[in-house]
């Protein structure tokens, strides 16, 4: 699988296939999917027998759609753009206008696919990518099932990539899984979370399990607590109407943050096979203690941003003034949680999670704070207390790993200062332009579901947050907006750690030094 490869150029190309994109006229296709295919073809990872079929209700023919993609590609792949690579890909891109809710259109789709398959030699392997609103997932797969396009044989495969959100609460997540299972086996379903395509997320496992010195420290004996921060400096942009229905908790915690937590807290899997890895993540989610309604009041914090000033001086409007947002909205744009785990490795170690929009910086990290060393040796010196050592796994930007620890400040007296050892991926391995979708699309073509989410994982994630959603729903917030744009969230989030005698880490984003 791709996980253990340090360089894509060493990997073999995917098998022949057609990637059929539902929602080809949308934002995701232009910004992420086509650029990801460009990067894959640049790395020679797409097979010669490859085609893309874009589906949408826009009125295009093949050439019109190619022109539309060509207009945008340079903006999304930047300086690595290469005309020859693009021409190779472009020649394989097709388009078909379709009403995704109309049965007869799927008969036409079958015919079109058969023709492309015969022309391109794609051997009947179809990857359907659902770049469409989640309300359509079940309807589209029903139609695909009716015309036999989800039927696999020994000679060909049919796989479906589903975009998040996977439901908006536990009941709807179960309903969505049931809808999908009406026409497919679980191993045909690839639920994508592009966070898992990021190098550092995969590297959490390499760091933990390929380095002998780390694992003995990775437990309640040595770790005081873990903080996971997924901060966005952007607001809701043009997605106000969508966000009103979601909110920070639904949008981020059951998927991104709990997946990061799963990878940090998991036991070593027996192998990097999809089932082994997912089983270990599921065990972590099973071990998380669901919050009682009383605990929700002390262990969960919500917030909504008001107008404010971003660090670059930009004055931004309040969430409630955004397009598509109710002026009295109760939707949270910030959520923080304190979770605990009932297992041997992590009993008593709190995991603090926070995420929000319009925070000070666009930044994702996992900070592991180690227990303080005893101060006995320093009792006759000026040192009153030793700062705890901290390991930071930085997911974005400047993916890397930072270790901060105490060192003697030079001079005649004993003083200790915190110093950092910092490793940026870019400094060692160069900057590989990527959207985060390359690894995942390539893995799906290869039939490797390791970095995709299983139905069980999705449902377990929702089980964990459902108790919070229920309490928040029953008790509408009275104090919104409760943090200014450009800050690190509401004061109550600070209390979450302060009440335990801890502090959120002060985040400073190091710059990559370049090679
Ligand atoms: N954009 C992102 O960065 C991003 C990130 C993470 C996840 N996602 C997920 O990815 C999916 C797609 O997002 P997106 O932002 O690309 O959405 P989008 O811009 O709204 O694209 C969806 C496309 O599907 C078309 N469509 C909808 N219903 C149709 C129908 N019945 N028949 C034919 N075409 C139809 C839409 O046409 P109309 O415009 O005419 O409705 C639109 O062109 C969503 O599930 C979203 O949650 C997106």
19 Cα to the center of ligand 1, angstroms: 16
How many residues does the structure list for the chain? 515
On the question of pLDDT at 7 being above 80, the answer is: no
pLDDT-above-70 percentage for the chain: 95
CA distance linking residue 90 with residue 105, whole number of Å: 25
Cα torsion 138, 162, 38, 117: sign: negative
Neighbours of 189 (CB within 10 A): 22
Q: How far apart are CA 325 and CA 304, in angstroms?
A: 12
Q: Are 335 and 296 in contact (CB under 8 A)?
A: no
C-alpha to C-alpha distance for 123 and 414, rounded to whole angstroms: 71
Atom of ligand 1 nearest to the CA of 130: 11
Task: Give phi and psi for 204, each to the nearest 5.
Answer: -55, -40
Q: Mean pLDDT lowest for which of 186-190, 209-213, 293-297? A: 209-213
Is any atom of ligand 1 closer than 6 Å to the C-beta of 56?
yes
Is the pLDDT at 1 greater than 50, yes or no? no
Per-residue model confidence (pLDDT) at position 450: 87
Q: Which residues contact 168 (CB under 8 A, 6 or more apart)?
A: 245, 246, 250
Q: Does pLDDT of 6 surpass 50?
A: no
Q: How far is the CA of 243 from the centre of ligand 1 (A)?
A: 14
Distance 363 CA to ligand 1 centre (A): 26
Residue keyed to tokens 């969230």 = 489
Consecutive H or E run containing 367: strand 363-370
3-state secondary structure of 106: helix
Best mutation site among 32, 53, 57 for ligand 1, i.e. most ligand atoms within 8 A of its Cβ? 57
* Mutation choice for ligand 1 from 133, 191, 250, CB with most ligand atoms inside 8 A: 133
pLDDT at position 4: 38
Interatomic CA distance for residues 109 and 98, integer angstroms: 8
Mean pLDDT along residues 164-174 = 92
Q: DSSP letter for 455, please.
A: H
Q: Which of 34, 60, 130, 131 to mutate to test the pocket of ligand 1 (most atoms within 8 A of CB)?
A: 131
Encoding tokens for residue 177? 């899984």
- What percentage of the chain reaches a pLDDT higher than 90? 76
Active-site entry in 39, 256, 330, 454: 256
290 contacts 463 by C-beta, under 8 angstroms: yes
| DSSP one-letter string for 51-66 | EEEEEESS---HHHHH
Question: Residues 150, 144: contact at Cβ < 8 Å?
Answer: yes
Q: Which residues contact 341 (CB under 8 A, 6 or more apart)?
A: 265, 284, 287, 288, 289, 347, 349, 351
Nearest CA to ligand 1 atom 1: 28
pLDDT band at 43 (very low <50, low <70, confident <90, very high): very high
| Alpha helices (H) along 149-198 | 170-181
What confidence tier does 2 reach under pLDDT thresholds 50, 70, 90?
A: very low
Q: Is 440 in the pocket of ligand 1 (CB under 6 A)?
A: no
Cα-to-chain-centroid distance, residue 268: 21
H-helix or E-strand spanning residue 20: strand 17-22
Residue 39 and residue 86: Cα distance in Å, rounded? 10
In short, whether 30's Cβ falls inside 6 Å of ligand 1 is: no
Ligand 1 nearest atom to the CA of residue 28, by list position: 16
Query: What is the CA(22)–ligand 1 centre distance, in A?
Result: 8
When pLDDT is averaged across residues 314-322 and rounded to a whole number, the result is 96
For residues 209 and 366, give the distance between their C-alpha atoms in angstroms, rounded to a whole number: 17
Cα–Cα nearest to 336, from 361, 309, 359, 308: 359
What are the pLDDT digits (tens) for 475-512? 999 999 999 999 999 999 999 999 999 999 988 766 65
DSSP 7: -
Name the DSSP letter for residue 423.
E
Distance 316 CA to ligand 1 centre (A): 27
Query: Which residues are registered as beta bridge partners of 420?
Result: 404
Pocket test for ligand 1, best of 20, 24, 26, 34 (most atoms within 8 A of CB): 26
Distance CA 193, CA 258 (A): 11
- The span from the CA of 339 to the CA of 262, in Å, is 12
Backbone dihedral region of 247: left (phi > 0), alpha (psi from -120 to 50 degrees) or beta?
left
Provide the β-strand partners of residue 339: 351
| pLDDT tens digit sequence for 393-442 | 998 888 889 998 888 888 888 888 888 898 888 888 776 667 889 999 99
Domains of the chain: 2-163 (3.40.50.720), 199-374+454-498 (3.30.360.10)
CA of 458 from ligand 1 middle (Å) equals 21
Question: What digits encode the pLDDT tens for the residues 337-381?
Answer: 999 999 999 999 999 999 999 999 999 999 999 998 877 677 777
Tell me, what's the pLDDT at 3? 39
Average pLDDT of the chain to the nearest whole number: 91
Give the pLDDT band of residue 157 (cuts 50, 70, 90): very high
Q: pLDDT digits over 230-246, tens only?
A: 999 999 988 899 899 99
Model pLDDT, residue 398:
83
Atom of ligand 1 nearest to the CA of 98: 33
Residue 100 CA, closest ligand 1 atom number: 32
Alpha-carbon distance of 92 to 52, in angstroms, equals 6
Ligand 1 touching residue 163 (CB < 6 A): yes
User: Given a cut of 80, is residue 9 above it in pLDDT?
Assistant: no
- The answer to whether residue 304 scores a pLDDT higher than 50 is yes
478: left (phi over 0), alpha (psi -120 to 50) or beta: alpha
Q: How many of the other CB atoms lie within 10 Å of CB of 485?
A: 24
Give residue 515's pLDDT band: very low, low, confident or very high (50, 70, 90): very low
Nearest Cα residue to atom 40 of ligand 1: 57
Assess whether the C-beta atom of 436 lies below 6 angstroms from ligand 1: no
Whether the per-residue pLDDT at 464 is higher than 90: the answer is yes
**Distance separating alpha carbons of residues 182 and 131, to the nearest angstrom:** 20
Residue 167's alpha-carbon distances to 44, 141, 398, in angstroms, are: 36, 16, 31
Q: Are 512 and 352 spatial neighbours (Cβ–Cβ below 8 Å)? A: no
Which whole number is the average pLDDT over 271-285?
A: 90
What's the pLDDT at 8?
54
368 token code pair: 């592991």
Tell me: the pLDDT tens digits for 85-129? 999 999 999 999 999 999 999 999 999 999 999 999 999 999 999
Alpha-carbon gap, residue 86 to 115, rounded angstroms: 23
Sheet holding 400-408, edge to edge: 300-303, 334-339, 351-356, 223-231, 363-370, 390-396, 400-408, 416-424
Helices marked H in 91-185 — which ranges? 103-120, 137-146, 170-181
225 is a catalytic site residue: no
Write out the two tokens for 296: 């929700």
Report the nearest-CA residue for atom 2 of ligand 1. 28
Mean pLDDT of 302-329: 96
Cα separation, 392 vs 387, whole angstroms: 15
């Amino acid at each position: 699988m791709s996980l253990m490869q340090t360089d894509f150029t060493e990997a073999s190309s995917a098998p022949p296939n057609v990637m059929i994109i539902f929602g080809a006229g949308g934002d995701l296709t232009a910004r992420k999917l086509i650029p990801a295919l460009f990067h894959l073809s640049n790395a020679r990872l797409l097979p010669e027998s490859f085609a893309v079929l874009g589906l949408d209700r826009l009125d295009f023919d093949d050439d019109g759609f190619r022109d539309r993609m060509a207009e945008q590609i340079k903006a999304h792949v930047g300086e690595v753009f290469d005309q020859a690579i693009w021409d190779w890909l472009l020649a394989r891109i097709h388009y078909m206008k379709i009403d995704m809710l109309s049965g007869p259109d799927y008969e036409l789709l079958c015919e079109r696919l058969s023709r492309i398959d015969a022309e391109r030699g794609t051997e009947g392997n179809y990857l359907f990518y659902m770049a469409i609103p989640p309300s359509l997932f079940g309807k589209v797969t029903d139609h695909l099932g009716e015309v036999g396009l989800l039927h696999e044989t020994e000679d060909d495969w049919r796989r479906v990539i589903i975009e998040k959100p996977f439901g908006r609460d536990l009941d709807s997540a179960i309903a969505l899984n049931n809808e999908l299972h009406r026409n497919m086996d679980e191993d045909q379903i690839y639920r994508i979370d592009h966070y898992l395509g990021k190098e550092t997320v995969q590297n959490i496992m390499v760091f933990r399990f390929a380095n002998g010195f780390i694992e003995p420290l990775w437990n309640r004996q040595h770790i005081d607590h873990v903080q996971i921060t997924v901060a966005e400096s952007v607001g809701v942009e043009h997605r106000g109407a969508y966000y009103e229905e979601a909110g920070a908790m639904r949008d981020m915690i059951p998927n991104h943050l709990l997946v990061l937590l799963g990878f940090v807290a998991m036991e070593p899997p027996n192998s990097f096979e999809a089932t082994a890895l997912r089983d270990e993540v599921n065990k972590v989610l099973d071990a998380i203690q669901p919050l009682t309604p009383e605990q929700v009041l002390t262990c969960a914090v919500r917030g909504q941003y008001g107008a404010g000033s971003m660090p670059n001086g930009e004055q931004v409007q309040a969430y409630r003034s955004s397009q598509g947002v109710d002026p009295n909205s109760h939707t949270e744009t910030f959520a923080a949680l304190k979770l605990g785990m009932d297992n041997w490795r992590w009993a008593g170690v709190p995991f603090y999670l926070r995420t929000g929009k319009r925070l000070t910086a666009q930044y994702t990290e996992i900070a592991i704070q180690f227990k303080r060393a005893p101060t006995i040796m320093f009792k006759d010196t000026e040192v009153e207390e030793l700062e705890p050592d901290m390991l930071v796994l930085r997911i974005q930007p400047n993916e890397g790993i930072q270790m901060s620890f105490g060192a003697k400040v030079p001079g005649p007296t004993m003083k200790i200062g915190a110093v950092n050892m910092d490793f940026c991926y870019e400094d060692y391995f160069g900057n590989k332009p990527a959207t985060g979708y390359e690894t995942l699309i390539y893995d799906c073509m290869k039939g490797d579901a390791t970095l995709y989410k299983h139905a069980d994982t999705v449902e377990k994630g929702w089980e964990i947050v459902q108790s919070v959603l229920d309490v928040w729903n029953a008790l509408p917030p009275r104090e919104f907006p409760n943090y200014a744009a450009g800050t690190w969230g509401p004061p109550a989030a600070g209390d979450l750690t302060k009440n335990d005698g801890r502090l959120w880490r002060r985040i400073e984003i190091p710059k990559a030094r370049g090679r």
